[in-house]
Amino acid sequence: MGEYFQTIRLISPPFYGRLRGVMIKILLPLILFMANLQATQTQVVILLGPPGAGKGSAATLLKDKMELAHISTGDLLRQNIKNGTQLGEKAKSYMDAGDLVPDELIFSMLFERVDAPDCEKGYLLDGFPRTIEQAETLQKRLAGRAQVKAVSLEVPDSALVERITKRQVCRDCQTPYHLTFSPPKTKGKCDRCPGELYQRSDDTETVVKSRLKIYHEKTAPLIDYYREQKALQTVDASLPPNEVLSQITALLTPVVKDKVGAGDVH
Ligand code: AMP
């Protein structure tokens, strides 16, 4: 590039002078503006993967390491059920059957949450989008104002049923545990808070099979959707949780602010 400018300078000094002026007055501020825009854009990280792939575990650890808020649509729905809201009442039967909750309930709940001040810099979505339609609605809402990265956690189906049926979750902070691979220090009690552990009503073998079927039909196409947008990264989530976390962290750098070590994995 420098050689071209030198050649222009030799051939036509007045033209070189004008070109230099244009560069300084227009292009340089434009480049600085674009760089600044990139730096201040909201970061949206989407964790994709079948039920049991470890999205919740990864998000629980990542939220400690990141400047991004963690938003799980499943947790928001369960919170609504626990609080006895109208939304919770409407969503419960779908969730108990392992079906997707209708979009109109999901969108109002999610978009209200992402308007909260802690989402200003960005957020990590766990459990949303679940369909191409949800992804398109999100894209329209973001309208190019956010930098979106999707991370697909890949685990063979054969490992998932065992992972889910042995899962327990904290009633208060939603930290997930696995009774064999990452049990709590005290049976039935959360390591992170005084909360009690319980098994989700949709974590039974029959419901899990129906959730997996829905995942393959409706959610898995999102992998190609984000790949086509050049926004997809994949992670081998059948590895031990520490390794999965390191892979995700490496992919998300520099989004990740490395505040703590990757030691306390569940
Ligand atoms: P999860 O905690 O992500 O496994 O979600 C638990 C259940 O909540 C799912 O099986 C669905 O019934 C419902 N759900 C969570 N997120 C969504 C979503 N984005 N769209 C529709 N239903 C959802």
**Cβ-contact 122, 114 below 8 angstroms:** no
Residue 265: per-residue pLDDT: 36
Residue 130 is among the residues annotated as catalytic for this protein: yes
- Measured in Å, residue 127 CA sits from the centre of ligand 1 at 6
Which of 200, 209, 218, 227 is catalytic? The answer is 200
pLDDT in tens, 57-110: 888 888 877 778 999 999 999 999 999 999 999 999 999 999 999 999 999 999
- Measured in Å, residue 211 CA sits from the centre of ligand 1 at 9
Give CA–CA dist 40/29, Å, rounded.
16
For ligand 1, atom 10, name the residue with the nearest CA. 98
* CA separation, residue 220 to residues 131, 146, 182 (Å): 8, 23, 27
CA-based radius of gyration for the chain: 23
Q: pTM for the complete prediction?
A: 0.79
Instruction: Read off the pLDDT of each residue in 156-162 and give the average, rounded to a whole number.
Output: 89
Token pair in block for residue 138? 């999100």
Ligand 1 atom at minimal distance to the Cα of residue 102: 21
Judged by average pLDDT, the poorest of 45-49, 59-63, 159-163, 256-260 is 256-260
Residue 47: per-residue pLDDT: 96
77, 82, 207: which to mutate for ligand 1, most atoms within 8 A of CB?
Answer: 77
Instruction: Read off the pLDDT of each residue in 119-128 and give the average, rounded to a whole number.
Output: 93
Residue 200 is among the residues annotated as catalytic for this protein: yes
Residue 158: per-residue pLDDT: 86
Sorting pLDDT into bands at 50, 70 and 90, what band is 266? very low
Which of 65, 78, 130, 163 is catalytic? The answer is 130
57, 87, 92, 101: which to mutate for ligand 1, most atoms within 8 A of CB?
Answer: 101
Instruction: Read off the pLDDT of each residue in 182-195 and give the average, rounded to a whole number.
Output: 95
46, 60, 95: which to mutate for ligand 1, most atoms within 8 A of CB?
Answer: 95
Q: Point out which residues pair with 71 in neighbouring strands.
A: 125
- Measured in Å, residue 73 CA sits from the centre of ligand 1 at 6
- Measured in Å, residue 49 CA sits from the centre of ligand 1 at 12
Look at the alpha carbons of 50, 51, 54, 57 in this order and tell me if their dihedral is positive or negative. Answer: positive
Whole-number percent of the chain with pLDDT over 70: 92
- Residue 41 clears pLDDT 90, i.e. is over it: no
- Measured in Å, residue 37 CA sits from the centre of ligand 1 at 33
Give CA–CA dist 78/87, Å, rounded.
10
Q: Which residue has the higher pLDDT, 51 or 33?
A: 51
Residue 211 is among the residues annotated as catalytic for this protein: yes
Sorting pLDDT into bands at 50, 70 and 90, what band is 264? very low
Cα-based torsion angle of the residue sequence 190, 196, 199, 202 in order, rounded to the nearest 10 degrees: -100
Q: Which residue has the higher pLDDT, 106 or 23?
A: 106
**Cβ-contact 41, 234 below 8 angstroms:** no
